[in-house]
Amino acid sequence: FERTRPNGSVLSIRGVPVPGHGFVTLYSDVSADKAAQRQIREHNTQLESRVAERTAELRLSEAKLRLITDSIPALIAYFDERRVYRYLNRAYQSWYGLDPNNPRAASAREYLGAATYAGIRPMVLRAMAGEAVTFEYEVAVISGNTVIARTTLIPEITADGSVAGCFELTFDVTDQKRTQEMLVQAQKMEAL
């Protein structure tokens, strides 16, 4: 058993019977060990508290970031080096019916369609090679409409120079393209 002495030191007391001779009692001062254990427990408690605070801060920061990206009238995503989506904003749900809470289930080949995917695949490969690319394409969305999309892929380059993934930003430029076509037509009519 252990006993705390009036001066605060802690003794560990152990008795061992010695057959035919009596009893041997061992007293060991374990004050330093107990103080170290108490300090470790205090440090662990402080560390757990800091981790909990930091985790709460990160969750709040992540929620704010999601609120911002969900408010932007654009599709925002991130996919890793294996081209697996890790993040999708809410606009993906309105365009393609994808669940932003389950980005890994998204397959560009499936939601874009095989023909559209084949057309943009070379751009994705260029981005995965480390080049930022911007391109336009037509795509059918969940509403049944066909829109003209402009996508920019920005590779995430690691410290060793490899590509860890790509940030994706896509806008609907259908109205802009139609306006440009109307302007060109108006200019032709004016020239005539």
pLDDT tens, per residue, the chain with 192 residues: 888 888 888 888 888 888 888 888 888 888 888 888 889 999 999 999 999 999 888 888 888 888 888 888 899 999 999 999 999 999 999 899 999 889 999 999 999 999 999 999 999 999 999 999 999 999 999 988 999 999 999 999 999 999 999 999 999 999 888 888 888 888 888 887
Return the structure tokens found at 135: 């391109």
Return the structure tokens found at 17: 């019977």
CA distance 35 to 21: 36
Q: What is the pTM of this model?
A: 0.68
CB 12 within 8 A of CB 28: yes
Burial class of residue 155, CB neighbours in 10 A (0-12, 13-18, 19+): buried
The b/e string for 161-186 (b: 16+ C-beta within 10 A; e otherwise) is: eebebbbbbbbbeeeeeeeeeeeeee
